[in-house]
Structure 1
Amino acid sequence: MPSDTNPAADIFGGWLMAQMDLAAGNVAARRSRGRCATISVEAMTFHHPVFVGDEVSLYAWILGVGRTSIRIQVEVWRRERESEATMRVTQALFTFVAIDSERKPRPVPPEPGVA
């Protein structure tokens, strides 16, 4: 939306980062079966701008699970409104920690179906 842009009509990088955090957070909460908190973002690289009207797609997948943490890679791709061509615009590695009701780290449960 226009309110998410700078004066040059490029989408703010911070808006994209927020969307990436939401996508990664969904993956983390699903895998941990509960609440998680972002503890770090690494290697955020912007390859291309995103413009008002572009379709934005986010893809997130788990790279690793520790005792209380989950590392998730996120990529953002854009498609111009009148085109079928897509391009990766940014990527980053997010680390989350599973937390309990008191916001203290808790173990990530084993993956369902894995002994």
Structure 2
Amino acid sequence: MSHTPSANAATTLKSLPTDMDLVLKVIPMPADCNANGDIFGGWVMAQCDLAGSVIPARYTKGRMATVAVNEFVFKQPVRLGDILSFYSKLVKVGRTSVTVTVEVFAERFKTQGEYIKVTQATFTYVAIDGNGRPRPIERD
């Protein structure tokens, strides 16, 4: 994963979000590393897409597809041995789509109990029918 050091220096947190849902926890493995020893950005993106689909599934109640990655920001590298916590929150429910944010926090192997926000993303998923066409989301 490439990342550019910036004024966004890593802020160490002592707790994880309480206003979002924990939707996935995962530990990257050696096969997920690039030549620099960091975890592939594409691997992180795939995990975010999985995590992002959890809340929309509650609304679409059936088949859905990722229709847009509205934002994806790598804030810090993900390292081998990190415990990643993926948190998600509903942004919007439309006629056929659901938009969510996903924030990813790393608990470094050597500093457990401290968290660093490594990635944030916004995804839109669309409810689809058996032919892959958008279908309306039923409202309760």
- 1:36 corresponds in structure 2 to 64
2:13 corresponds to? none
Equivalent residue for 1:105? 134
Alpha-carbon distance between aligned partners in 2 of 1:60 and 1:16, rounded to the nearest angstrom: 15
Partner Cα separation in structure 2 for residue 75 and residue 56 of structure 1: 10
Map of 1:47 onto structure 2: 75
Q: Figure out how many residues of one structure are paired with residues of the other and give that number.
A: 111
Q: CA deviation at 1:26?
A: 2.1
- Per the TM alignment, residue 103 of structure 1 is displaced from its structure 2 partner at its CA by 1.0
The answer to whether 1:68 aligns with 2:93 is no
Runs of 4+ in structure 1 off by over 4 angstroms are: none
Q: CA separation in 2, counterparts of 1:31 and 1:59?
A: 17
CA RMSD of aligned residues (A): 1.0
Aligned match of 1:96: 125
With the length of structure 1 as denominator, give the TM-score of the two structures.
0.92
Deviations 1:57-97 (A, max 9, x none): 10111100110011110111100113221011011110111
